[in-house]
Structure 1
């Protein structure tokens, strides 16, 4: 096996694939990547048994094809440390314990493990394939990801729920994306693409969501997604991501969204974010309770901490439907305002009563919505 690499191309492909490698592995071979040179192209594969990332190496010259596994992070660090523009010569003789890597006067010997021991992704029957525009997909993932649960006990909340939604029977179908941890919820939607299954209802796990967000950055105008009963695959020209789906039933999240709240507030997102951060300084590390008093022309924010003291601030707002006092976890509110892009303009907030969740909307984004459950003041 003999290959010549351009340093930049090899490092790019390695860095993509190595994202699938866990820092600590109980299965030793999962600390390796599979380097494969065949059919005129070179690929690097890495997996943690939940996701598989295959990255293609551009510009590699194959003198002798072959396949072997190599220590992932060691190889990545070596390539990082080599000078820019370096030509890297890789050689491996089947049956030998080590492979060699040379660049200029630098020499490295890397331990190998047989590729037959490396777990492969089981073939899937992709029941639907479709393409999504990159920018709206990236925006939706980034805006609602803050609401994904991190509690392993409710594993079915540890991802983003994708399903087909229609506002009315005659309305055009939407691909709706939802995340919630039971305390906060966020959703966004894109027009349903051609080729998508109307019965779609899948939960994409958190790690796959993170990798998909990174993957779309290298895509062109659109990215291809394929679905089976248990997996999702995303493809660009240089990378293929395959991930298991979460096997579970997503809760009826629409029950957590209050309807017909009688109290409505309009406020600058930037001012609300800044005031929340200021007052939050004294709230302490437990509870994160902040009190919000909504009156006809202002919002008063206040927090109290027996150790740090008290804080109070006030910003202009417009309220309709009556006054209300409600408590929120201020960190949730900061995440919501920051991730939803609320700082770019006005935020609409809707309430029913102090014991019901607040609904946050951005007027310029009609498909975007977030909910925060209240705290007892």
Structure 2
């Protein structure tokens, strides 16, 4: 096996796959990338047995073959080489040589036959979505995923596939984020829900660049596969049932407050400085035309902010975790946001004033 590439051309696919490789592995070969040259194309594959990433790029002056090379060492070497240098990689017995200018490196390799392959995805549904839409869906919801929750089905992102739309939903039990986008081509009539684990979501989010390219998504019984012209991403799914999230979205929250999103976000950030470090609580009081934010901590320090707001609500006070509100506001795009409230013991619905594409539910906090 032999190939030669410009440093920058090789660095991009390397950067795409190296993050999938865990620093600590159960099998030595999992620390390596599968490097395959065939039909004028270089394919780099990294996996941790849960997530697999295959990045491809065209090569000239290449000799077909395959081997495995230590992932992080190869990435660090190529990244550290001077801009514009040409990198030559060649297999020589059980070693792989990497050369660029006057730099030479010899890396240990393992046989390609030892490299594990994720099971083939037997696609029961295939659909297409613009890359920018999928990127936005994940960015506007993934922050609400649980971390290491015993309810393992919350440690991931729900893909709720409908006939003409894809919804992404995440919740950690204290807040919920939902975003919806239309599909380029829908699946078979019906509905399908899958849960992509946290690491798969993070790697997919890192991979997506936006733009108008159309992605092909394949759903199998236990896998999701996302195909782009230069990359194929595969993730195992969480085998569990996501809670009925639609039952959590407040109905009858008829007390509306319309406020400038950026002004509210800045006021909450300032008030949070003096909030209790453990509970991160802020108190929101609403009266006609006015929204007041207050926070205090065990040191008897206090913060107060007042904002103009379009509302006729009077005498409503409710507590929230300020971080949850800030995350929700950061995921919205509208100039103005609506806070839809019911009473001090009910969840709040936070969404853009002009669009219901993204909705966020935040549980109240007793202060």
> Structure 1 CA distance, aligned partners of 2:108 and 2:298?
58
Match runs of 1:1-377 below 5 Å? 1-62=1-62, 64-93=63-92, 96-165=93-162, 173-197=164-188, 198-217=190-209, 220-307=212-299, 309-341=301-333, 344-377=334-367
Task: With the length of structure 1 as denominator, give the TM-score of the two structures.
Answer: 0.93
Judged with a 3 Å threshold, the aligned counterparts in structure 2 of structure 1 residues 215 and 338 are, in CA distance, closer, same or farther, namely same
Residue 52 of structure 2 aligns to a residue in which SS? strand
> Structure 2 CA distance, aligned partners of 1:134 and 1:77?
29
Residue 120 of structure 1 aligns to a residue in which SS? coil
> Structure 1 CA distance, aligned partners of 2:198 and 2:339?
28
> Structure 1 CA distance, aligned partners of 2:57 and 2:300?
54
Shift of 1:60: 4.2
Residue 357 of structure 2 aligns to a residue in which SS? strand
CA RMSD of aligned residues (A): 1.7
Residue 23 of structure 1 aligns to a residue in which SS? coil
Kept in 2, the 8 Å contact 1:262–1:352? The answer is yes
Kept in 2, the 8 Å contact 1:219–1:236? The answer is no
Provide structure 2 residue ranges, at least 5 long, that are not aligned to the other structure: none
> Structure 1 CA distance, aligned partners of 2:82 and 2:192?
48
Kept in 2, the 8 Å contact 1:42–1:60? The answer is no
Work out the number of aligned pairs and report it: 366
Provide structure 1 residue ranges, at least 5 long, that are not aligned to the other structure: 166-171
Shift of 1:138: 1.5
Judged with a 3 Å threshold, the aligned counterparts in structure 2 of structure 1 residues 102 and 227 are, in CA distance, closer, same or farther, namely same
Judged with a 3 Å threshold, the aligned counterparts in structure 2 of structure 1 residues 218 and 274 are, in CA distance, closer, same or farther, namely closer
Shift of 1:57: 2.5
> Structure 1 CA distance, aligned partners of 2:314 and 2:161?
36
Shift of 1:321: 4.6
* Between 9-18 and 188-197, the greater mean CA deviation after superposition: 188-197
* Between 10-19 and 361-370, the greater mean CA deviation after superposition: 361-370
> Structure 1 CA distance, aligned partners of 2:176 and 2:225?
26
Ranges of 4+ aligned residues in structure 1 off by more than 6 Å: none
Kept in 1, the 8 Å contact 2:4–2:88? The answer is yes
Measured against aligned partners, the alpha-carbon deviations of 1:11-67 in whole angstroms (never above 9, x if no partner) come to 1111111121112223221111011112331110000111100011333431x2111
Shift of 1:76: 0.5
> Structure 1 CA distance, aligned partners of 2:307 and 2:240?
43
Shift of 1:153: 1.2
* Between 214-223 and 123-132, the greater mean CA deviation after superposition: 214-223
